[in-house]
Amino acid sequence: MRSRSFVLSVFVLSAILLSSSPAFAQVTAGVQGGINIANVSFTAGDPDEGVPEFKSRTRGVFGAFIARDFNPKVGLQVDILYSQKGTKASQTDGVDTFTFEASADYLEIPILIRGNIPGSGSVKARVFGGPSIGFKVTDDTKTTFNGIELTDEEDAEFKGTDFGFVIGGAVQFGKVFVDARYNWGLINIVDDDSGDVAKTRTFGIMVGFQFK
């Protein structure tokens, strides 16, 4: 129900972006792509269970955006991104070594309020923040023991949606811009009864092109 309400909100906001408005209001759109430095914040359901140190994975992100500035200082931006996330970890007792890798790809829709910062000439900047929802497209896990993949292990299951909060900024040079953002996952993405809690943590850097 929550995801349906969010999707409905996206359609309503998109209609607002494209609707008629005061003379200043300006609609822009473009494409963007880059890398995600992805990880998770993990808490074990069993407090006596040893927890390995989870490390970040570098993956990809790309998509498009539409935005509208309602006045010189404030605007609204909606992104549609194919965002790849994941993590990796290893644990050893000095003799044996376990390694674990997880990946999950999402169709991610951030809805961002943005503030415009005056620049010089064709250079300008903006900051932004707002909620984001991700719909899982695919996921995969891999576990190895002393370098040998454990094919009989039960794969971890991830929920179909991920909710987060995005904050970041961009610097634009003419029609080209560089976007940096951090996405805090707000819900547990582990879909089992273990009691484990994993929340996504993603730092993204993208280069984009604005059509209009």
Total H helices, total E strands in the chain: 1, 10
In order along the chain (212 residues), what is the average pLDDT of each group of 10 residues? 55 54 74 97 72 88 96 93 93 75 95 91 93 95 73 70 97 96 95 84 98 82
First-residue to last-residue Cα distance in the chain: 35
Query: 129: domain range?
Result: 2-210
pLDDT of residue 20: 46
Q: What DSSP assignment string belongs to 32-63?
A: EEEEEEEEEEEE-SSTTS--PEEE-EEEEEEE
| Structure-block tokens of residue 41 | 């914040």
Using a cut of 0.75, tell me whether the model's pTM lies above it: yes
Number of domains in the chain: 1
CATH code where residue 34 lies = 2.40.160
